[in-house]
Structure 1
Amino acid sequence: MITIISLLLLGSLLPNLSFTASVKVRIVNGFEARPHSRPYMVSVQKNRRHVCGGFLISDQFVLTAAHCRDNTEILTVVAGVHDLSSSSENHVRIGVSTYNKPPEYNPDPKKPKISDLMILKLNKKVKLNNKIKTIPIPMTPVQIRVDTDCSVAGWGFVTNSGPPSPTLREANVKIIKNTDCAGGSCDGDSGGPLVCDNTAVGITAFVSFKSCNDPNLPSPHGVNI
C-alpha cells in the first residue's frame, strides 16, 4: 500500500531542515549499479553490519525506514560506498545524533505500517563530492501516475534465502495502483528510495516475507514522502 503523506510532517519533526526539490532486504531480478552512480545512497549499519539502506536529503540528514531501528539501537551511516566488502573504498562512516520517527508510527508487527519512515541527523555534516551527494524530495505531496518508470536500489538479499549483496544493486519498477499493491522486495533494502525523475518520492518500507520474488506481488511496498 502506498500512503501519501505531507512533508509538513518532516517539517514538524525537523523545523530547521530546508528542502530543495523538484517534482529489505535485497533487490531481486535487478542488476549491479554502476559504482557511485547513486551517490545519495548510504548503508545504515548496526555494529558495522548493514541493516538497511538510506539516502541523503541534505549534508546532515538521512531518510530511511522507521522499522530499521528499535528504540535502543545505535546506528551509523556509511556514505560514498559501492562495495560493502571492500576495504579500499574511501567511504565515510558517520554517527547518528538523533532519530526522528513520526508520532503515528507503530512498531507493532500486527499493526499496519503507517508512516514507516525515519530521519537520521548525523553527528556532523558530510562533505559532498562526486561520490557523496544529496537527492531532492518533493516539497508537497505528490501522486505518481500509474505506469510511471521508477527505480529502487539497495544492498539487500538477491534471493529469498540470501546472502545480501556486497555491492549496490538496482532495479527498474513501474508504479501500480494502490489497490493492487501487496508485496515484492527483500530483507536489507528497507529504507532505500523509490526514485522517479531523479527525485526520491518513496521509501522501501515493508515486503512480503513469504517470497521476495513472487510474480503475484508487486515490488516494493512503501510509503510515499
Structure 2
Amino acid sequence: MESLHAFLVLAYFIFHFFAGYGTDIIHGKKAPDKSMLYMASVQSSKGHVCGGFLVTEDFVVTAAHCDTVNITHVVIGNHNLQQGSDIKIIVEKKFKPSNFNDVWLGKDIMLLKLSRKAQLGCKVQIIQLPCAEMNVKADEVCQVAGWGRNRTGGENVDDLRVVNVSVINPEVCREQWPGLPVNVICAGGYGTDKGFCQGDSGGPLVCNGLAVGIVSFNKYRNCNYPDVPNVYTDISKYLQWINKVLATS
C-alpha cells in the first residue's frame, strides 16, 4: 500500500511538471472567414482567456479549468479579435461538475449561461453535440481551432487558426500518459508536429461536424514536437449532465 501511495504521489507531480493548461494551434492555418461560426473567445476584463463554442443561443461550452480567472464575457461573430466588429455577451452563470478539482482527475468541462441569446445568422451559428455516448475511431481526422500562440515562446494570434489532427488509439494514449483520466479523447501531439499547446484551452475537437471533445491538457511548454498525445474531454460522456443544465437553467 505504501509503494502504491508513493507511485500515485510521484505520478501527480510528474503530471503537473509536464502537463500544461491552456493551449494553442500549432502548425495550422488561418480559419476561412465563413467557417467555424460557433467559435467563442472566453474573456476576462483583461481580454482573451480560453476558447469555447456556442451550443445553443445562450450557452457556450468551454473547459472547467478556465475558471481560474474571473471570466466576465464571451466574444462571438469574428475570427479576428482585434477588428472590433465582434459581439460581446456577458456571462450570467457558470456550471461545472460539482466534484471537478483538476484536469488530471477529469471532468474538465464548463457551461457558460449567457445574459442574452445570441442572434444566429451569417456571422454566428451553433455547433451540434453528439446525440448519444460514442467512441471516436482511432485515426479519424478531426479539427481543433483557437487563438493561442502558434509556436513555443510566441504570442497569441489575432486570427482564429485551425489544424487537422488524427485521433489516437486510447490504449496507445494510456501508454504515453500513465494514469490518464477517464472520459477523454486523445488526438494530435504524438508522432506529429500538429496539435495544440499553451494558450487556448476550451476549444472544440470537431469530427464530422460534431463537437466531440474539449481542449484540456498537453505536455507543458512543448509546442513544436510534443511527444505525448494532446488530451480532450470526451463530450459524449457528459451528455446527461449537459442536457440537465440546459433544461433547467
| TM-score, normalised with respect to structure 2 | 0.74
Once residues 116 and 199 of structure 2 are traced to their aligned partners in structure 1, the CA distance between those partners, rounded to angstroms, is 25
> Matched residues, percent identical?
41
Superposition pairs of residues 16-165 of structure 1, within 5 angstroms = 24-70=22-68, 73-87=70-84, 89=85, 91-107=86-102, 112-165=104-157
Tell me how far apart the structure 1 counterparts of residues 199 and 78 of structure 2 sit (CA, whole Å). 16
Q: Contact 1:102 / 1:117 at 8 angstroms: preserved in 2?
A: yes
The count of corresponding residues between Structure 1 and Structure 2 is 195
Q: Please identify the structure whose Cα radius of gyration is greater.
A: 2
1:48 & 1:35 partners in 2: Cα distance?
25
Secondary structure in 2 matching 1:69: helix
The CA distance in 1 between the partners of 2:172 and 2:109, in whole Å, is 22
Change (3 A) 1:188 1:113: farther
Per the TM alignment, residue 92 of structure 1 is displaced from its structure 2 partner at its CA by 0.6
Shift of 1:176: 0.5
User: What amino acid is the match of 1:94?
Assistant: I
Specify the alignment match of 2:222 in structure 1. Answer: 211
Deviation of residue 175 (structure 1)? 0.5
The offset of 1:48, in angstroms, is 4.4
Please list every run of 5 or more consecutive structure 1 residues that lacks an aligned counterpart in the other structure: 1-23
Q: Which runs of 5+ in 2 are unaligned?
A: 1-21, 178-188, 190-194, 236-249
The structure where strand makes up a greater share of residues is 2
Question: Which whole-Å CA distance do the structure 2 matches of 1:190 and 1:139 have between them?
Answer: 24
Change (3 A) 1:132 1:48: farther
Secondary structure of 2:217's counterpart equals: coil
Aligned to 1:171: 163
CA distance in 2, matches of 1:114, 1:128: 32
Question: What are the Cα deviations for residues 120-153 of structure 1, in whole angstroms up to 9, with x where unaligned?
Answer: 0000101011110000001211100101111000
Name 1:221's counterpart in structure 2.
231
Q: Over residues 57-105 of structure 1, what are the superposed CA-to-partner deviations in whole Å (9 max), with x where a residue is unaligned?
A: 00000000001113x7132100101111212x3x110001110001231
SS where residue 62 of structure 1 aligns?
A: strand
Which of structure 1's runs of 4+ aligned residues deviate more than 6 A?
Answer: none
Q: Greater share of helix residues, 1 or 2?
A: 2
Deviation, structure 1 residue 25: 2.4
Partner of 1:67, secondary structure, is: helix
CA RMSD of aligned residues (A): 1.6
Equivalents in 2 of 1:99, 1:175: separation in Å? 29
